[in-house]
Structure 1
Amino acid sequence: MEKVPMTVRGEQLLRTELERLLKLRPQISEAIAEARELGDLKENAEYHAAREEQGICEAQIRDIEYKLSVAQVIDVSKMDNSGKVIFGATVTLIDLESDEEKKYQIVGDDEANIKLGLISVSSPMARGLIGKMEGDEVVITTPGGQKDFEIDRVEYL
């Protein structure tokens, strides 16, 4: 089984969601029991809704448990890579064309959220940055074409 990189924050978020879903299980079971008491199950909308909710909840629990079982949690705050871009690093880039500053953290696929500045380790941007050093200029191929960036700062938060 191949391990999948994940940040400490990503693991904590998954564990929190798993706890929430596990607490929801008994409530869903109660809703199913109450709906059963209402009579004919064929035409019982409450019963069918509760069963559907149970199926979704169980699928989410299995998915999170699987993700946690294959996760390789990497704590970059304990690493010193002297300005080298690695998984989990927060990178501040300067767009050489517009002089705009952008800040991204390289995270696992499930944690990625571009609106929050979290980019997937398998994204073209992250693949172009990993292994580079603070001060390097990099050319990244994006859907909008090639972009030139300078790596201004690399932090291990």
Structure 2
Amino acid sequence: MNKVPMTQGGYASLKEELRWRQQEERPRIIEAIAEARAHGDLSENAEYHAAKEAQSLNEGRIGELEDLIARAEVIDVTKLSGDTVKFGATVVLVDEDTEEEKTYQIVGDQEADVKKGRISISSPIARALIGKGVGDSVEVNAPGGARGYEVVQVRYG
């Protein structure tokens, strides 16, 4: 059973989504199924089929969330330190071509959100950064082609 690394915030958001799906979404879907069933003939009842589909998707996600939570390895980023990049690090990079500065935190796969500056530990850029320190250059083979970055800052917490 492989452990899934994640931050405390990521773990909390998975637990909240599971709570919402079990305690709010599940009863709402059951109500929708009961209401659609009351309309009569189920073979041509679009509301019934849509509600059953929603129930299937919800139950599938609940199973997925329960599995992720059971395998979670919660890492307290505030207790990490060092000057090399590892899981939980917030890294400031400078694009060597455009001189544009970017800041990313390396998080678990379930927490990744590039718009919020959180990249997955399994992404090409995070894999290239692991073990690097301030002043190091990294070459990242991204979908848009190879990019060069210089590590300007590494911080935790």
The answer to whether TM tops 0.5 is: yes
- Alignment of 1:4 with 2:8, yes or no, is no
Residues 2-151 of structure 1 mapped to structure 2, 5 A cutoff: 2-22=2-22, 23-81=24-82, 83-151=83-151
CA-CA distance at 1:153 after TM superposition: 1.0
What are structure 1's unaligned runs of at least 5 residues?
Answer: none
* Secondary structure in 2 matching 1:110: helix
Partner Cα distance (1:33, 1:143) in 2: 47
CA 1:47–1:153 in structure 2 vs 1: closer, same or farther (change >3 Å)? same
Partner Cα distance (1:6, 1:52) in 2: 30
Partner Cα distance (2:44, 2:144) in 1: 53
- One-letter code aligned to 1:32: I
CA-CA distance at 1:136 after TM superposition: 2.3
- One-letter code aligned to 2:127: R
Partner Cα distance (1:142, 1:49) in 2: 39
CA-based RMSD of the aligned residues comes to 1.7
Partner Cα distance (1:35, 1:138) in 2: 57
- One-letter code aligned to 1:45: A
Q: Which has the higher mean CA deviation after the structures are superposed, 129-138 or 144-153?
A: 144-153
- One-letter code aligned to 1:141: N
Partner Cα distance (1:34, 1:16) in 2: 27
Aligned to 2:154: 154
CA-CA distance at 1:103 after TM superposition: 0.8
Partner Cα distance (1:116, 1:67) in 2: 22
Query: Percent same amino acid at aligned positions?
Result: 53
Partner Cα distance (2:18, 2:60) in 1: 11
TM-score normalized with structure 1 length: 0.89
Whether contact under 8 Å (2:81, 2:155) holds in the other structure is: no
Aligned length: 156
Q: Which has the higher mean CA deviation after the structures are superposed, 16-25 or 135-144?
A: 135-144
TM-score normalized with structure 2 length: 0.89
Q: Which has the higher mean CA deviation after the structures are superposed, 143-152 or 52-61?
A: 143-152
- Residues 89-108 of structure 1, C-alpha deviations (whole Å, 9 max, x = no match): 11001122322111111111
Whether contact under 8 Å (2:6, 2:107) holds in the other structure is: yes
* Secondary structure in 2 matching 1:13: helix
